[in-house]
């Protein structure tokens, strides 16, 4: 794809790029110190300048190695600078951020993914990050009476999100069409190009809106590139279907939000997750994911009154926030992306295994709360208060089997394979059950447990009895319920992988 190579040796070009980037960094320091320009503005200057260089790199370099080395250098350099509070001209922000580390890391990931196969996708992903991200900040902060919202921890504005949508739409249509012409291939038809652009823009807007601590420098270009990759080679009919799956994910997430099964952030996270997974897998991936979220939410609502018994014990309630959504569905997203790039059906089985584990764990809790007797510790078998992590009941354990079994059935029925469905059902469901048991064991051993200084109760909450700060009495502070749930779903997927290679 290179259209201009200034030197015979690309390593000379590499040195030139390195000097240009360092010049941007040095200029940002001069502007910040001598002209008193805010660190936020100098950071955006570096972001745009370096982003444009990165965007142009496939047009100048033929080999991927020099740009990859460049990305690796700045991953390390920026991480050290943040840790030592150096290079404030490019690292100063109004909030905690690792964006300058995510920037070259994203470039490196896109190099490995698309440099040899289709560099246009790499370029569009990086350009959306380069333009749309700073536009969101610039327009959002300068708008009069901006409408603000918080989906995770960072506050965003409606004006900023709209700027992301329209700039991503322009880049993924007009700029993408120009890149097709430069590459010497026919641009997609206008209707196809527009549908692709809208789909990419929706996903880009969501990934920027739910970001935290500069993570949009990772999610914004990667999800944009992925959706462009999914869309642009499909015929028009299938592109319309993918856009339909994106809109369905919005409808499901919005309904869950209105029913108070998800917080606003949880709904946005679920929509992004669903948009990607549904677009990759279609109906066969939609059914098991919808089965988990719908039936688990119904069970959660049924047991809402009963949960008041241990409301003061558990860390979070029945309304899932964005962290809970990705703790339960993040592994599913990873499996879907792995399936898209490899086409290996094992990733679909692992996808089902992760959801089976999440369903078994959720159903075990939701059904177990109706037990008429006190739960017992999963390892010591001593009686523990209702809601205690690692506490199990016979009724709750039956929920493991029902949840994993129903979820597995929802996914394997349409599978066409030489392996019998019975064997496949057993290994996926059993993997899900073991994942839920892993969750209970981790909850009983390493999950953080705190004691309230006021009432003396053991709880997962950091604050109890109003505003009393609790004290850690067991486990590790960084291992909360969301971490345990993520390990649960990951272990469910890994158990399926293990059983598949051992038994089939």
**DSSP string spanning 180-213?**
HHHHTSPPPPHHHHHHHHHHHHHHHHHHHHT--T
Residues 142-156 have pLDDT tens digits of 777 888 888 888 889
Residues 91-148 have pLDDT tens digits of 555 556 788 899 999 999 999 999 999 999 999 999 999 999 889 888 887 777 888 8
Tell the residue number behind the tokens 């440099």, with chain if given: 115
Residues 247-270 have pLDDT tens digits of 999 999 998 898 888 899 999 999
Specify the pLDDT at position 465: 78
- Measured distance CA(488)–CA(492) in Å, rounded: 6
- Measured distance CA(59)–CA(119) in Å, rounded: 9
Tell the residue number behind the tokens 């010497």, with chain if given: 184
Sign of CA dihedral 17, 19, 23, 26: positive
433 Cβ partners below 8 Å, 6+ apart? 356, 357, 360, 400, 401, 404
- Angle CA(441)–CA(471)–CA(473) in degrees, nearest 5? 35
- Listed by start position, the domains of the chain span 1-116, 118-280, 282-504
Q: What is the DSSP letter of 378?
A: T
Residues 195-245 have pLDDT tens digits of 999 999 999 999 999 988 888 999 999 999 999 999 988 999 999 999 999
Q: CA gyration radius for the chain?
A: 25
How much is the average pLDDT of 480-500?
95
- Mean pLDDT score of the chain, rounded to an integer? 88
- 383 has which bridge partners? 376
- Measured distance CA(400)–CA(423) in Å, rounded: 19
Structure tokens at 303: 């047991």
Residue 311: count other Cβ atoms within 10 Å of its Cβ: 12
- Yes or no: say if 122 and 225 are a contact pair by the CB < 8 Å rule: yes
Q: What is the percent of the chain where pLDDT is above 70?
A: 93
Q: Residue 51: which pLDDT band, with cuts at 50, 70 and 90?
A: very high
What are the DSSP E strand ranges found in 260-390?
376-377
Task: Give backbone dihedrals phi and psi of 479, rounded to 5 degrees, phi first.
Answer: -95, 90
Q: Measured between alpha carbons, how far apart are the two ends of the chain, in Å? A: 44
Closest to 237 (Cα-Cα) out of 191, 283, 176: 191
- Yes or no: say if 260 and 319 are a contact pair by the CB < 8 Å rule: yes
Closest to 491 (Cα-Cα) out of 450, 448, 420, 443: 443
Of residues 340 and 34, more confidently modeled = 340
Question: pTM to 2 decimals?
Answer: 0.90
Residues 292-326 have pLDDT tens digits of 988 887 887 776 555 555 554 554 556 788 999 99
Residues 343-387 have pLDDT tens digits of 999 999 999 999 999 999 999 988 888 887 888 888 888 888 777
Q: Return left, alpha or beta for 101; rule: phi > 0 is left, psi -120 to 50 is alpha, else beta.
A: alpha
């Amino acid at each position: 794809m290179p259209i201009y190579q200034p030197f015979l040796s690309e390593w000379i070009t590499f040195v030139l790029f390195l000097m240009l980037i360092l010049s941007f960094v040095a200029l940002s320091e001069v502007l910040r110190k001598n002209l008193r320009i805010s660190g936020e503005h100098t950071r955006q200057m570096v972001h745009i300048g370096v982003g444009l260089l990165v965007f142009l790199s496939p047009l100048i370099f033929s080999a991927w190695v020099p740009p990859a080395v460049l990305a690796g250098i700045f991953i390390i350099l920026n991480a050290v600078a943040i840790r030592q509070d150096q290079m404030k001209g490019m690292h100063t922000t109004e909030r905690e951020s690792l964006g300058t580390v995510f920037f070259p890391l994203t470039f490196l990931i896109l190099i490995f993914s698309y440099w040899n196969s289709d560099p246009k996708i790499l370029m569009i992903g990086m350009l959306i990050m380069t333009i749309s991200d700073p536009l969101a900040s610039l327009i959002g902060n300068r708008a009069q009476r901006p409408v603000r919202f918080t989906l995770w921890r960072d506050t965003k504005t409606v004006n900023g999100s709209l700027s992301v949508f329209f700039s991503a739409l322009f880049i993924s249509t007009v700029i993408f069409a120009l890149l097709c012409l430069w590459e010497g291939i026919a641009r997609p038809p206008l209707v196809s190009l527009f549908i692709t652009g809208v789909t990419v823009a929706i996903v880009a807007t969501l990934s920027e809106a739910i970001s935290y601590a500069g993570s949009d420098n990772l999610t914004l270009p990667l999800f944009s590139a992925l959706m462009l990759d999914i869309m642009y080679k499909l015929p028009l009919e299938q592109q319309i279907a993918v856009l339909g799956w994106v809109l369905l994910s919005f409808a499901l997430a919005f309904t869950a939000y209105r029913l108070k099964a998800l917080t606003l952030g949880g709904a946005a996270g679920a929509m992004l997750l669903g948009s990607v997974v549904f677009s990759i897998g279609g109906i066969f991936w939609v059914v098991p994911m919808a089965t988990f979220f719908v039936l688990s939410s119904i069970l959660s609502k049924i047991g809402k009154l009963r949960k008041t018994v241990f409301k003061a014990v558990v860390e979070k309630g029945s309304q899932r926030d964005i962290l809970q959504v990705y703790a339960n569905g993040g592994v599913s997203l990873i499996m879907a992306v792995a399936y898209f790039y490899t086409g290996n059906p094992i990733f679909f089985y692992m996808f089902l295994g992760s959801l089976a584990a999440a369903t078994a764990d959720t159903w075990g809790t939701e059904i177990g709360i109706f037990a008429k007797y006190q739960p017992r510790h999963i390892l010591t078998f001593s009686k523990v208060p209702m809601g205690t992590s690692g506490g199990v009941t016979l009724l709750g354990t039956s929920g493991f089997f029902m949840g994993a079994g129903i979820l597995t059935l929802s996914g394997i029925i349409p599978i066409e394979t030489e392996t019998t469905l019975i064997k496949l059902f057993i290994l996926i469901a059993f993997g899900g059950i073991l994942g839920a048991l892993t969750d209970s064991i981790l909850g009983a051993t390493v999950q953080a447990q705190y004691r309230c200084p006021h009432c003396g109760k053991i709880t997962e909450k950091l604050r109890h009895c109003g505003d009393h700060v609790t004290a850690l009495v067991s486990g590790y502070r960084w291992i909360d319920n969301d971490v345990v749930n993520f390990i649960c779903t990951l272990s469910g997927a890994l158990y399926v992988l293990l059983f598949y290679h051992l038994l089939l």
